[in-house]
Structure 1
Amino acid sequence: MVVVAMVLPLIKCQIGRRLHARAGRDGAQLSRYTAQIVGGTRRSVMWLVALFVGARAVSLSPKIDAALASITAVALLLQVALWAQRALDVWLQRRLDRARTTDVAAATTVGMLGFVGRIALWSVALLMILDNLGFNVTTLVASLGIGGVAVALAVQNILGDLFASLSIALDKPFVIGDFIVVDEIAGTVEHVGLKTTRVRSLSGEQIVFANADLLKSRIHNYKRLYERRVLFGFGVPYRTSPEQLAAIPQMVREIITGQVGTRFDRAHFKGFGASSLDFEVVYFVLDPDYNRYMDIQQAINLELVNRFAAAGVEFAFPTRTVHVETLPTATAEPAGG
């Protein structure tokens, strides 16, 4: 037992040293990850294996021998599960580091996959340990299935949020950092959890949505806006000459095309308003940033004011013309007439 207890740690250290040396020399990531997994070997498990090997050299009662074999088997299963969890953690960390630089949307998915993977791993390990200890796993699984139905009915809201979080992780309607609008609430996604999603609103407070309720709502994701369609209008007075009216659409086209990051669509004399001749303009801002859109719109408005002033065109404002007619006064009849 003493020999085995001394040899196993030496083997572990030797394997880890060689893997680290190879990773440092060749830059092999697989060797570095394998060294991390091997480093998760528990010393208590090695001592238990040494005890089991040493016990083979002596005569023990059947009960003690069977108990020692069962304990050793359970310890080995736990060690295998720890190795598997360490490998899963290493893989998830690798994916998470890659996601932070290339695909932010994958960060949420990695977190959800890690949660599901750990539950599946330890569920299988628990069933194998119980089976090794002599329990009827088939009956246990059936009992858990019946109990699981009852628990699912009791916590269906929580399970609904949990499955909604998995749907968010896989379908990715939004990710952390996206600016979204849900109903009348707008803000930036800060955290996507198993039950709730937290959004930092424009006014500063944090708003917490249940995942199931969030997926039932209509979500406007402005982070994925590739270009912004802008529609605006203005009016000129009725005294504007026909020549000036005809020149205004071309004037607006020149102003918009002169702005960097825009695409002109149309400018038309729309119709006759109550107190103005109305124009409608549509263009696209090729940048989804809202501040950039407002800067462009401000530049267009200022240029419109300058060009209209140079061309002698005025902007209309609400006016009302009142025509007053004086009725003829009635001729007074003479007294006694």
Structure 2
Amino acid sequence: MNDVEQLVDATYIDNTLWQWTVAASIAVVALLVLLLIRRTVRSRYKKMAATPETEFLELPLKVASRTTLLTVIVTSLFIGSQWLKLPPTVNKAILTLFTIAVFWQIGLWATIAVVAALDRKRQISDPAAASSMGIIGFLARATIWSFVLLLTLDNLGIEIKPLLAGLGIGGIAVALAAQNILGDLFASLSITLDRPFVVGDSLQVDDFNGTVEYIGVKSTRLRSLNGEQIIMPNANLISSRVRNNSRMNTRRVVISISVDQQTPVAKLQEIPGKIRELIESHQPIRFDRSHFVKIGASSFDFEAVYIVLTADYAKHMDILQDINLRLVEWFNKERIVFSTPQRVYYVETQAGVHTTLEKHEPASRDS
């Protein structure tokens, strides 16, 4: 009996066996309670995630369900240690370990929350913005874990102020050396925030035409009309004049026609009205004007303008083709002759000077 009492009353690192037993019991109970809470949260989140509707508590439960086992164990040990009288160095080490574990767990929670929020926004808004959301997610994760790393180093006793000063000086040197890469990075951020185009848009950049396949941190990839992939640095893309054909609402078309100067005045008066009639017979179109615009050197020139109320290029070409075919048919019926520019060549021979003519046909144009 005396041996048992001596064993119980004996001190180990300034704590009796009974105090160690109480602390261990509290730590075990805390561990079991935290594991039970984590299991309950995960079970509840699993049920919510199985439903198509997004519930209010789904995101918080998803974040809480990603609590790691290491964080649970460290927290339990920290709670149990509060019932013991430990040396200051040991207490400080346990507190530092607990603080670092909490920081990394908060970093993980924040990362999960950001990724989940961006996924939800992508589903609600526009699936074509996947690359933009990816860039925002990358920058958010980099920021979160940078703060976590700095806080960890600070709790380990490392002076972060000189480190930050050194990183600032080093950052300037790196920025000068990698200014092209940083330019592309900030350009990608500009594309993400301003959204002049998204994945799936049809772009015309200088002499290149293609559909946006991917918007990355450094470059944007286009799939050209011929099938090859065009990779363009984001900085060059932002500084260029980009035509986003996917956001075209209407298309302005100009038809230019030249007729022979031998055409009677009565027929000339009929041409603008006939062109207007042919244009207005199509839908969806908004007629603008049709006029006898100029007396040329060898022709009478007419010009008509209309607006196609759709961005569909195939529809626009079908309408233009039908107008041209019916106009040619009407000209043939009315015996109206299209004019062609003439070039006069003087050829000198021994027999005298001969004149030859070379004719060139004009073409319609659209814009």
TM-score band, normalised by the shorter chain? 0.7 to 0.9
Q: 2:48·2:55 contact (CA, 8 Å) conserved in 1?
A: no
Q: Distance in 1 between matches of 2:214 and 2:175?
A: 26
Deviates more, 1:75-84 or 1:50-59: 50-59
Shift of 1:271: 2.3
Q: Distance in 2 between matches of 1:137 and 1:84?
A: 23
CA displacement, residues 212-269 of structure 1 (integer Å, 9 cap, x when unaligned):
1112211122222211111121222222111001001000000000111111111222
Q: Percent identity?
A: 43
What amino acid is aligned across from residue 245 of structure 2 in structure 1? Y
> Which residue number corresponds to residue 239 of structure 1?
262
Deviates more, 1:174-183 or 1:291-300: 174-183
1:66 maps onto 2:89 in alignment: no
What amino acid is aligned across from residue 39 of structure 1 in structure 2? S
CA displacement, residues 114-170 of structure 1 (integer Å, 9 cap, x when unaligned):
122112211221222222222222222222211111111111110011001111111
Q: Which runs of 5+ in 2 are unaligned?
A: 1-26, 347-367
Shift of 1:23: 7.7
SS in 1 for 2:56: helix
Residue of structure 1 aligned with 2:63, choices 37, 42, 61: 37
> Which residue number corresponds to residue 277 of structure 1?
300
> Which residue number corresponds to residue 255 of structure 1?
278
TM-score normalised over the length of structure 1: 0.87
Q: Distance in 1 between matches of 2:28 and 2:140?
A: 37
Please identify runs of 4+ aligned residues in structure 1 that moved more than 6 A.
Answer: 22-26, 320-323
SS in 1 for 2:144: helix
1:114 maps onto 2:137 in alignment: yes
> 1 or 2, which has the higher strand percentage?
2
Q: 1:20·1:32 contact (CA, 8 Å) conserved in 2?
A: no
TM-score normalised over the length of structure 2: 0.80
CA displacement, residues 180-212 of structure 1 (integer Å, 9 cap, x when unaligned):
111111111111111001111111111111111
> Which residue number corresponds to residue 131 of structure 1?
154
Cα 1:137–1:320 shift into 2, 3 Å: closer
What amino acid is aligned across from residue 67 of structure 1 in structure 2? A
Q: 1:37·1:87 contact (CA, 8 Å) conserved in 2?
A: yes
Q: Distance in 2 between matches of 1:198 and 1:207?
A: 6
Residue of structure 2 aligned with 1:202, choices 190, 203, 225: 225
Cα 1:182–1:25 shift into 2, 3 Å: closer
Please show how residues 183-332 of structure 1 align to structure 2 within 5 Å. 183-318=206-341
Q: Distance in 2 between matches of 1:100 and 1:178?
A: 12
SS in 2 for 1:93: helix
SS in 2 for 1:29: coil
Please show how residues 172-183 of structure 1 align to structure 2 within 5 Å. 172-183=195-206
CA RMSD of aligned residues (A): 2.4
Q: Distance in 1 between matches of 2:133 and 2:197?
A: 15
Q: Distance in 2 between matches of 1:22 and 1:210?
A: 42
Shift of 1:25: 8.9
Q: Distance in 1 between matches of 2:345 and 2:167?
A: 85
> Which residue number corresponds to residue 10 of structure 2?
none
Shift of 1:5: 2.1
Q: Distance in 1 between matches of 2:45 and 2:131?
A: 31
